[in-house]
Amino acid sequence: MRAVDLVLIVVVLSIAAAVRLSWLGSPGYSVDELWTAELAVGRGSTHLHLPLNVLVPPPPPDLFRISDAPPWWHVWTHMECTHPPLYFVALRLWIAAFGQGDVTERMLSVVCSMLAIALLYDAARLHNGRAVAFWAATLMALAQPQIDLSRQTRNYAMLELTALAAIDALVRIEHFGINGRRCIALTAAVLATLLTHYFCIGAVGAMGLYAMIRLPGRARSRVFIAFIIAGIVFAIGWGPFMWRQRALFATDDTATRFLQESGPQHLWLTLQRVTLIPAAMLAKPRLAMVVVSSGMVVLYVLPLLLLRRRPDLLLWCVLLIGVVAPLVLLDLARGTGHLAFVRYPLLAGPAVYVLVPGLMTIAPTRWVCHAIPAAAAIACALAAPDVYHPRQTDTRLMAAEMGSRIRAEDLLVFGGEGNHLWEAQAQYMMLSRYQRSIRSPMALVDRPVDGQVLDRARRSRYVFAFSVGNPLQFLPGFRLVDSRLYVGGGGCAQLAPPAR
């Protein structure tokens, strides 16, 4: 890598750092981030195992306490969610090294995202040229979904890091030949990708297909063996635990029910989302720009039509199609809406970032090669502020306001009936994360309180009822003193016992 490449990547990474680190601690954790941080402690999904309709004496269980947490390898064996374990193990080690806290834990994703940008630059530089690499890295640095997901304690930034490490190793094998070091790097990167997110399968398959098409005989055979070894190690090391998770993949499971989508419009919505995915990798298409955004659908096909002139675009076109196609089939077969969430096809992003400037190199005038990707980068930069103004209220607000009122003589009730029970559990996660000094008894309920819970509620100074619906359905006869509604955090009612 020449000095000019180092200068360019430093400039791009400086921009990426600026937009990722700004207001990194705001807002507080979302439910998914809370769950991720809880799993990293190594006790599994503790919030799902809180006793139901039973009085829990003080202090309430601390879901995030690290001081007496089990060893880090327990994270691997206690993954009660729909994800493989690598990111969660890495987060646990990160916490051990740097401590807990929203900003500290989110920094792991920031670092992964920055490294992923550097790897994209290197792969595109070798495969498509310096100009394409610069614009591709710039688009990845400024793209709205990249900024958003790199500022969350979730596994998507690490997924891009591991996948781009595999792509970079594959590109180096194609350009410099196969050797032991590159083969080991490819195997390790593919294995790490498989262990980071299940939806990597389309990207891994695309890399394998590209290798079969483009590499010569000896290199093709060794790369094929590398993929097989990665798959075998994944199956041995993680397969038994993945088998335990199988029930969680059902569309009627609480954690995946939000993906259900049916009705006569499902096919049309799926096709519409496929059309908009390339644009969504840059920024969420606004209503006024939907027609222009839809035009980016040509990225699926145009590189294939230009292969004779630009064979270097095949890798990124195969990657784009390979990521999107399995999600389309999954949504159509199971009646789900994965494509509605940009995080699931996120690995299509690097392909889009290379294809946009890559296709412009066929333009007859040189200025067009830079004008179009520059315009795309400016559009991303203009959309970036939306990342810092989420629609949900800061989850710390509920914990701060309610936590300041709660006393030892009060009772906490987290209520949710049927499908809403998980929301009550999520509210408890929020309170456990941001109010660790609470010394009141609590109860998680899915019906009107009775027994010990009712007896303790009647003897309490106040009952703080956290619920999505009407809190009085769980405490009939109690008197409403105050009520607060928190968007993204549910509601909390302060109730007084019936007059004795």
Confidence of residue 291 (pLDDT cuts 50, 70, 90): low
Q: Which pTM value belongs to this model?
A: 0.95
Whether residues 262 and 154 share a domain: the answer is yes
Quick: pLDDT tens for 97-113.
Answer: 999 999 999 999 999 99
- Of residues 263 and 10, the one with the higher pLDDT is 10
Residue at 246 is within a domain:
yes
Residue at 450 is within a domain:
yes
Q: Which domain holds residue 281?
A: 3-14+78-388
- Is residue 473 within a helix (H) or strand (E), and if so which, with residue range? none
Quick: pLDDT tens for 29-78.
Answer: 999 999 999 999 999 999 999 999 999 999 888 999 999 999 999 999 99
Q: How many CB atoms lie within 10 A of CB 492?
A: 24
Q: Are 144 and 284 in contact (CB under 8 A)?
A: yes
Average pLDDT, the chain: 92
Whether residues 238 and 204 share a domain: the answer is yes
Q: How many domains does the chain have?
A: 2
Whether residues 237 and 361 share a domain: the answer is yes
Q: What is the dihedral sign for C-alpha 432, 435, 441, 443?
A: negative
Whether residues 478 and 334 share a domain: the answer is no
Quick: pLDDT tens for 452-481.
Answer: 999 999 999 999 999 878 889 999 999 999
Please compute the mean of the pLDDT values over residues 167-182 and round it to a whole number.
97
Whether residues 241 and 311 share a domain: the answer is yes
Whether residues 382 and 403 share a domain: the answer is no
Out of 84-93, 240-249, 348-357, 440-449, which region has the weakest mean confidence (pLDDT)?
240-249
What's the confidence (pLDDT) of residue 98? 97
What's the confidence (pLDDT) of residue 433? 93
Residue at 21 is within a domain:
no
Residue at 119 is within a domain:
yes
Whether residues 376 and 399 share a domain: the answer is no
Decide which of 367, 388, 409 is a domain's last residue: 388
DSSP helix/strand/coil, 124: helix
Residue at 57 is within a domain:
no
Quick one: tokens of 118?
Answer: 């550097």
What's the confidence (pLDDT) of residue 247? 85
Decide which of 388, 404, 422 is a domain's last residue: 388
Q: What span, in angstroms and rounded, lies between the C-alpha atoms of 165 and 116?
A: 8
Residue at 68 is within a domain:
no
